[in-house]
Amino acid sequence: MVTNIVQEGLDAVEKQLRDIVNSDVDVLQEAGLHIIKSGGKRLRPQLGILAYLAAGGQDVERVVPMSAAIEMVHTATLVHDDINDHSLTRRGQITVHARWGRTFALLAGDYLFTKVYEMMAPYPSEYNVIMADATTKLVEGETLQAAAAKAGNMDRETYKSIISRKTASLFEAAARMGAMLADADEDLVESLATYAYNLGLTFQIIDDILDIIGDPETLGKPVGTDIAQNRGVMAAQNGGTAVKETAVAEIEDDPIAVMMANLRESGAVDVARMQAEETAKRARAALVNVPSSPAKTEMEALITAVLQRQN
């Protein structure tokens, strides 16, 4: 039942994402649609819709542009990330950067960013403040990650700050705005925002674990990218030093493959999984005071799905 309403909302989000990319400049149109059509989990817009419904919202159309804008922020940063990471595939498809080159990928990412604000413009100021703040945090998180990787000093605190900003902030903003659009009271808004924030942390830790132990076929992207760049949860578990030591010791083999094998056996994955279970527990706890509803049940199920996902 609720699943149908959520699906309706997600379909409308999908349509809006495609409709808003409407440039007469061919490369922006093609590159924009390419990244949007390559899909993704659409978890962030799903959170916007679920928080709205869990807070008693009745007209799902109200959260569609906001939820689409949230997904568009994420999409725009993916295009720029892939430039900086020199990634060739994303979601099983060639990246914008690999297909259209760096110059057009940079501009296509900028273009998608401008579309975020086109979608957000109709909402009142407080929503635009939340969106601007979450987007700033996202860029800061990406920057902290690049800086830590470059300096080779990824510790647990830095890692936490990175995933909080680059992932959890946008999850939180989606749920916060969804709840606000349903005119939820302050406590309910905070509960749903806290849930989403912790779900975001869980999601990112699992994402980083999958970079080590995941199956590239299932993931639709190469694994080991984070290790190669001395970043992510495993670098954090190892104080940012294990990677470099291993690289020096085992230079005669494929260094990335060797590092990944070592990390798998080091117990670092188990520690990371424990952290993910802890943040998942906090997400669950945040829902305690949220009134029962089909949307709440779906939000609880989402925690389990995020913890157990294989791609």
Of 50-58, 99-107, 255-263, 266-274, the segment contacting a second copy by CB under 8 A is 99-107
In contact, 18 and 36? CB cutoff 8 Å: yes
For the window 30-69, what string marks contact with a second copy as x by the rule CB under 8 A? ----------------------------------------
| CA distances to 2, 64, 65, 69, 116 from 122, in Å | 27, 12, 9, 12, 11
| Distance in Å, CB of 6 to a second copy, minimum | 27
* Of 19, 26, 252, 265, the one binding a second copy by CB under 8 A: 26
* Of 8, 40, 92, 142, the one binding a second copy by CB under 8 A: 142
| CA distances to 16, 23, 51, 122, 171 from 125, in Å | 21, 27, 20, 9, 20
| Distance in Å, CB of 124 to a second copy, minimum | 8
For a second copy, give the closer residue by CB, 34 or 296.
34
| Distance in Å, CB of 228 to a second copy, minimum | 15
For a second copy, give the closer residue by CB, 122 or 239.
122
For the window 102-141, what string marks contact with a second copy as x by the rule CB under 8 A? xxx-xxxxxx-xxx-xx-xxxxxx--xx-xxx-xx--xx-
For a second copy, give the closer residue by CB, 20 or 53.
20
For a second copy, give the closer residue by CB, 132 or 219.
132
| Distance in Å, CB of 89 to a second copy, minimum | 20
- The CA-to-CA distance between both ends of the chain, in Å, stands at 26
* Of 2, 8, 23, 155, the one binding a second copy by CB under 8 A: 23
Exposure letters 202-240 (e unless 16+ CB within 10 A, then b): bbbbbbbbbbbebeeeebbbebbebbbbbbbbbbbbbeb
Instruction: Give the interface size with a second copy as a residue count (CB under 8 A).
Output: 44
261 residue type, one letter: A
Residue of 137, 191, 189, 192 whose CA lies nearest to 168: 137
| Distance in Å, CB of 234 to a second copy, minimum | 21
223: left (phi over 0), alpha (psi -120 to 50) or beta: beta
Pairs from 115-118 (Cβ < 8 Å, separation ≥ 24): 115/20, 115/21, 115/32, 115/72, 116/69, 116/72, 116/73, 116/76, 117/69, 118/20
For a second copy, give the closer residue by CB, 102 or 282.
102
Tell me the C-alpha distance between 236 and 1, whole Å.
42
For a second copy, give the closer residue by CB, 77 or 191.
77
Tell me, rounded to whole angstroms, the distance of Cα 166 from its chain centroid.
Answer: 7
For a second copy, give the closer residue by CB, 26 or 252.
26
For a second copy, give the closer residue by CB, 32 or 214.
32
For the window 77-96, what string marks contact with a second copy as x by the rule CB under 8 A? x--x--xx------------
Q: Residue numbers of the site for a second copy (CB under 8 A)?
A: 23-28, 77, 80, 83-84, 102-104, 106-111, 113-115, 117-118, 120-125, 128-129, 131-133, 135-136, 139-140, 142-144, 146-147
